[in-house]
Amino acid sequence: MNGQGALSGGWLAIAGLGPGAAGMVTPEVSDAIAAASDVIGYIPYVARVAPRPGLTLHPSDNRVEIDRAGHALSLAAAGARVVVVSSGDPGVFAMAAAVFEALEAGPASWRDLDIRVLPGITAMLAASAAAGAPLGHDFCAINLSDNLKPWAVIERRVALAAAADFAIAFYNPRSRARPDGLDRAFAVLRGACDDDRPVLFARAVTTPEQELRIVPLPHARGDMADMRTVVIVGSSRTRLIARAAGPLLYTPRSIA
Ligand SMILES: C[S@@+](CC[C@H](N)C(=O)[O-])C[C@H]1O[C@@H](n2cnc3c(N)ncnc32)[C@H](O)[C@@H]1O
């Protein structure tokens, strides 16, 4: 870091690459990457950026978010044109908040930097579109990872979301380190919801590996999801339209 801040000509864009399909990267994000000198992010996200002369790629492990954010801010302060990449939207369980945490704790000169957040299509919206419109009425999103918050907080939020009759999108539903979190969330929901509540497992949405599966809540199991899956549990109003081409899942816009 050289402490020159905005005078250095560097900038930092925190960009969302969307859920996977190249066509879902916004032109604004593509333009920022085309103008960048450095791209920083988790290894599989940086792998989605084409190498070219003049562009340095900085892939890093997922567990070093704050270090990565500090690195990005330091490079921008030294005059680099930096893009931090996230999948989906960078403000949804991703790098934008991590960069602002590092900014708040860092040197005062960082606050003069040119910093922009460039939105992307988040996984729950891509999944909702692929299945129909299950988020057509009020909904919430809950991250099931307990890396950064206690499980008791997650369980309480799941129970309150069910009591409020939101449709719920679960991000980070399952990992090798957390094999049982989604089953525990389903157990909470079974205590609060009717048996016909539909559950959408949307895996690798918009990629060639995309898989959609809809089951009623009593048949939903944690092992139907992995870390590439977003799970959407319908509200009491969410319904299925049967079609030869596959069902459409939607939540009506009104409550009669
Ligand atoms: C760390 S969060 C990042 C979310 C991302 N910032 C977003 O807005 O989509 C990673 C989680 O997002 C979800 N996810 C990301 N891409 C996905 C996709 N193409 N299909 C299904 N779920 C996806 C999964 O739940 C995954 O565990």
Reported as a single tens digit per residue, the pLDDT across 161-209 is: 999 999 999 999 997 888 899 999 999 999 999 999 999 999 999 999 9
pLDDT at residue 126, as a whole number: 98
- 32-59 pLDDT, tens digit per residue, is 999 999 999 999 999 999 999 999 999 9
**Distance of CA 102 to CAs 95, 106, 210, Å?**
11, 6, 35
Q: Which of 29, 48, 93 has most ligand 1 atoms within 8 Å of CB, for mutation?
A: 93
Quote the ligand 1 centre to 78 CA distance (angstroms).
32
Helices within the chain (DSSP H only) = 27-35, 43-46, 65-77, 95-105, 123-131, 151-163, 181-190
**CA-derived radius of gyration, the chain:** 20
**pLDDT, position 6:** 41
Please give the pLDDT value at position 85: 98
**Of 52, 203, 193, nearest to 127 (Cα)?**
203
Task: Calculate how far, in angstroms, residue 62's C-alpha sits from the geometric centre of ligand 1.
Answer: 13
Residue 1 is predicted with a pLDDT of 35
Q: How confident is the model at residue 4 (pLDDT cuts 50, 70, 90)?
A: very low
Dist. CA 174–CA 194, nearest whole Å:
24
pTM: predicted TM-score of the whole model, two decimal places: 0.95
Residues in CB range of 116: below 8 A, 6 or more apart:
11, 12, 13, 14, 32
Taking CB atoms and a 6 Å cutoff, what residues make up the pocket around ligand 1?
19-20, 86-89, 92-94, 122-123, 127, 171-173, 202-207, 227-230
Strand bridging mode 38-42 / 56-60: parallel
Contact, 12 vs 78, CB < 8 A? no
CA–centroid distance, 6 to ligand 1, in Å, is 33
9 Cα–ligand 1 center, Å: 33
Place of tokens 């040119």: 114
β-pairing, 229-233 vs 198-203, is: antiparallel
